Amino acid sequence: MFRSLLFIPSNNPSMLQNADIFSADGIIFDLEDSVDISEKDNARNLLMNYFNEGVNYPSLIVLRINPVDTEFFLSDLELLKTKKVKYVLLPKTDNRSLVVLDKYLCLYEKEFKLNEIKIIALTETTNSIIEINQIAKHKRVEGILLGAEDLCSELEINRTNKGEEILFARSKVIYACTANNIIAIDTPNTLIDNEELIRQDCLNAKNLGMKAKTAIHPNQLEIINKVFSPSKNEINWAIKVIKEKNKNVNKGAFSVEGKMIDKPLLMKAEKIINKAKSYHLI
Amino acid sequence: MINGVNRFIPDNLNSFKTSDSYLNMKRILINKKEKQFRTVFLNSIESAFDYFKIKSNQCLSFHHHLRNGDSVLQQVCEIVKKRDLRNMHFAPSSIFPSYTNLADLILNENVTNIHTNYINGRVADVIGQGYLKGKLIMNTHGGRARAIESGDLKIDVAFLACPTVDKFGNGTGAFGPSACGTLGYAISDLQYAKKVVLITDNLVDKLDEYQFDGVYVDAVVVVDSIGNSNGIVSGTTKLTKDPIGLKIAKDCANMINHLGLIKNNFSMQTGAGKISLAVVKYIKDIMINNNITGSFASGGITKSYVDLLNKGLFKALYDVQCFDLDAVKSYNINDKHIAMSASKYGNPFEKDPICNQLSFVILGATEIDLDYNVNVTTDSWGNIIGGSGGHADIAYGANVTIIISPLFKSRIPIIKEKVFTVTTPGSDIDILVTERGIAVNPKRKDIQNTLKNSGLPIYTIKELYEIAHSITGVPAKIEHSNRIIGYVEYRDGTYIDCIYQVD
């Protein structure tokens, strides 16, 4: 379970050295877009050394590799041997690339005795949005990240903070993820300094049903974590619901604060409690 | 002998014992210079040399309010060089990279002794390499005022840049083409130097308000330019955007809030470093959210503090020097932006100096050691890169003294077993905040107890030292050379450490 994933360019030694101190639930070590083509080998070598020789690591490590049809793909996968990577973030995911990656992950897991590596599918093309239901059903996919910048570029439309232009894509990600019980992850916001606009963007995404968001700068993390965590009121309500349920074990419905609680609300309360525990809020 | 912070000091010198030893000392005051009521106007700095018969072996002083934009010290250096005066003693309150002429005078042995509070740039390099024939004394802002008023530092002629001067010899830095704001570091020079020359590029008929009282001024010289106000902004006066710096700043602000220090009528000071200014921003947010009004902020003043004053978040600013042009402007137009002298700021013998009234202060460090001693004078190889400024003054005076710094800079850990040079004794440092954790000086049990269950990452300084080494490896130990080229003078006039020639 995570609320926030922070992108870190893998060719930046200072950022690697400090990757564990930020308040992100997970770190995405990027070998793709934030690394210039001339720096790909350096970034991979640096990351290999960090995974092998580092002292402190983030609690959750995601590796964004280069697309399966690039010359860098197979070299990037060598980093899996370090046994530090929990998720691979697959750029421009579609059914075909998912099959290719899955095949190699199976090989690596078998040959190097790795724990199962899960995939976060980066849906950033119109094709990936069209294929999103099948992507979400894949057994290795535990989350789908919307990549709005590339998508809007393909659509030849401008990004806005209000996000009406990505409402369809956001909704597709959310519905596919929710139906398949995986995590819907919102696109990063390129604003770094405007806290209010970042907060508004997070609220828009959360209110639609996104469960997490990516950050491109540590400054964004506090807001993301706050918005995607259950609020104090929600936690207090959920605690009351669970307490009341324990008093009414055999009842299908009961009341809390004068309002009827039945199965859907009970499930909502349980999810809130799980999140609150996971994020050390209770 | 070994002094109070376990440093060697030659036996013939008065060595540091503790930071409150001054409480058992008597304040020594020489007579202020005699007031006189006729100020002479001279047509050049060179004519001032003739008028006051400035000769070899004399002491000339300067202030640094125009910082890297100052040209008065440079102009005086040219005349010393032209006249080939020898064995001169210079006492500028600080030395900036633009003061290149001074480096030439040191190399040529025109200037052989220096008293100052801070050095950066070529002069620092030249002195560090052993070219100053006599000694370098690096004291604090408050300590410099003490040294002048006590006669420890005897000034023959003070050449004081002054942005606007009137026909009675009164002067102000508040306005003029080279306005630099307050002139706090020069007040002791004004009152105690044997002769005082104001150098200005803006002469007016009469000033209604002034910081330099003409009764202390012997001569005025009008020159084309005393410098460039834009040079005041040193480049370290902007808020950090570095994620590590911002994390330190946020953790620091949260910790201060947890300690209950941000409450009505509190007072604070920070350095002008980028991380410190980010702390100011976070503290401002806490003040606004909790409807808190502080009593005062002090120090070198930046736009960040001017904004707090203008928003009514502080009742006053006490300003010894303006760090940017927004502060200069504010000082000129806002009565609540109050000038203070270096003595009022940090002289240990002053009655109720501002530094003693601070609730907390946030300072930087080049190095800090396991005894919490701080070095801001040299780097880890002994190269001179700064100096106390007001560091030791406010570290002693403030109720809570906080050091903020990344745990390592370019893979060099900032926590050392022993710092290369002691600038500020560890007894005056309460807390170290880094990106990987916070350490509290064991002498502050009250702070340790308050932070115990705060949820903040509290470690011992030894633990942070070991965390740093686990990441960077253990750096090779650097030994200093045997040749002493100067001393770090504590604010009470005792010697806290030696400065050694760099090999």
> For B315-358, what is each residue's pLDDT tens digit?
999 999 999 999 999 999 999 999 999 999 999 999 999 999 99
Q: B35-231 has which CATH code?
A: 3.40.1080.10
Max avg pLDDT among A262-266, B42-46, B269-273, B299-303: B42-46
pLDDT at B503: 81
pLDDT in tens, B393-443: 999 999 999 999 999 987 789 999 999 999 999 999 999 999 999 999 999
Q: B243-479 has which CATH code?
A: 3.40.1080.10
Over 90: is that where the pLDDT of B62 sits? yes
Contact check, Cβ <8 Å, A21/B470: no
Proportion of chain B above pLDDT 70, given as a percent? 99
Q: Which residue of A lies nearest to B469 if distances are taken between CA atoms?
A: A55
Among A203, A237, A195, A221, which residue's Cα sits nearest to residue A279? A221
Residue A67 is given by DSSP the state: -
- Shared domain for A186 and A209, answered yes or no, is yes
The mean pLDDT value for A190-208 works out to: 93
Residues of B within 8 A of A218 (CB-CB) are 243, 246-247
The CA distance from B222 to B212, in Å, is 16
Lowest mean pLDDT among A65-74, A244-253, B456-465: A244-253
pLDDT at B477: 86
- Shared domain for A136 and A250, answered yes or no, is no
SS3 A261: strand
Interface of A with B (CB under 8 A): 14-15, 17-18, 21-22, 55-56, 192, 217-219, 222
Contact check, Cβ <8 Å, A18/B246: no
The residue from A202, A227, A252 where one domain ends is: A227
User: From residue A212, how far is each of A6, A27, A94, A222 by CA, in Å?
Assistant: 11, 13, 21, 13
Are B35-231 and B243-479 the same fold in CATH? yes
- Shared domain for A252 and A135, answered yes or no, is no
Instruction: Report helix, strand and coil shares of chain A as percent, to nearest 5.
Output: 50, 15, 35
Those residues whose C-beta lies under 8 Å from the C-beta of residue B270, and which sit 6 or more positions away, are B276, B277, B279, B280, B299, B361, B362, B363
Q: B380 to chain A, minimum CA–CA distance in Å?
A: 20
- Shared domain for A211 and A258, answered yes or no, is no
Our measurement of the distance from residue B328's CA atom to the centroid of its chain's CA atoms, rounded to an integer in Å, reads 18
Over 60: is that where the pLDDT of B236 sits? no
Overall number of domains in chain A: 2
The mean pLDDT value for B157-172 works out to: 97
Over chain B, what is the mean pLDDT? 95
Q: CB contact, 8 Å: B470 with chain A?
A: yes
- Shared domain for A244 and A137, answered yes or no, is no
Proportion of chain A above pLDDT 90, given as a percent? 85
Contact check, Cβ <8 Å, A22/B471: no
pLDDT in tens, B3-40: 999 999 999 999 999 999 999 999 999 999 888 778 89
Q: Which of the four pLDDT bands, split at 50, 70 and 90, describes residue B237? A: low
pLDDT at B457: 94
Proportion of chain A above pLDDT 70, given as a percent? 100
pLDDT at B411: 77
The CA distance from B117 to B392, in Å, is 11
SS3 A235: helix
The total number of residues shown for chain B amounts to 503
User: From residue A241, how far is each of A236, A246, A258, A268, B173 by CA, in Å?
Assistant: 9, 9, 12, 10, 67
pLDDT at B238: 67
The CA distance from B162 to B174, in Å, is 10
Residues of A within 8 A of B250 (CB-CB) are 222
The CA distance from B400 to B209, in Å, is 36
**Assigned token pair, A7:** 């992108």
Mutate to test the interface with A, among B433, B471, B472, B474 (most CBs of A within 10 A): B471
Contact check, Cβ <8 Å, A56/B471: yes
The CA distance from A185 to A202, in Å, is 11
The CA distance from B364 to B41, in Å, is 43
The mean pLDDT value for A144-156 works out to: 97
Q: Which residue of B lies nearest to A56 if distances are taken between CA atoms?
A: B471
- Shared domain for A190 and A116, answered yes or no, is yes
Mutate to test the interface with A, among B238, B239, B244 (most CBs of A within 10 A): B244
The CA distance from B97 to B110, in Å, is 19
Residues of B within 8 A of A15 (CB-CB) are 243
**Assigned token pair, B448:** 């340790």
Q: Which domain holds residue A253?
A: 232-278
Residues of A within 8 A of B246 (CB-CB) are 218-219
**Do residues B244 and B78 touch, judged by C-beta distance below 8 A?**
no
The mean pLDDT value for B249-259 works out to: 96
Q: Which of the four pLDDT bands, split at 50, 70 and 90, describes residue A249? A: confident
- Shared domain for A237 and A217, answered yes or no, is no
Max avg pLDDT among A259-273, B110-124, B218-232: B110-124
Q: Which residue has the higher pLDDT, B299 or A116?
A: A116
Each domain of chain B, given as residue ranges in start order, spans 35-231, 243-479
- Shared domain for A54 and A161, answered yes or no, is yes
Q: CB contact, 8 Å: B247 with chain A?
A: yes
Residues of B within 8 A of A192 (CB-CB) are 241
Q: Which of the four pLDDT bands, split at 50, 70 and 90, describes residue B78? A: very high
**Do residues A211 and A184 touch, judged by C-beta distance below 8 A?**
yes
**Assigned token pair, A31:** 């070998």
Over 80: is that where the pLDDT of B234 sits? no
User: From residue B31, how far is each of B35, B115, B188, B193, B212 by CA, in Å?
Assistant: 11, 21, 12, 10, 18
CATH value at residue A158: 3.20.20.60
Proportion of chain B above pLDDT 90, given as a percent? 91
- Shared domain for A245 and A152, answered yes or no, is no
Residues of A within 8 A of B285 (CB-CB) are none
Contact check, Cβ <8 Å, B243/A56: no
The mean pLDDT value for B146-150 works out to: 98
Q: CB contact, 8 Å: B246 with chain A?
A: yes
Over 70: is that where the pLDDT of B128 sits? yes
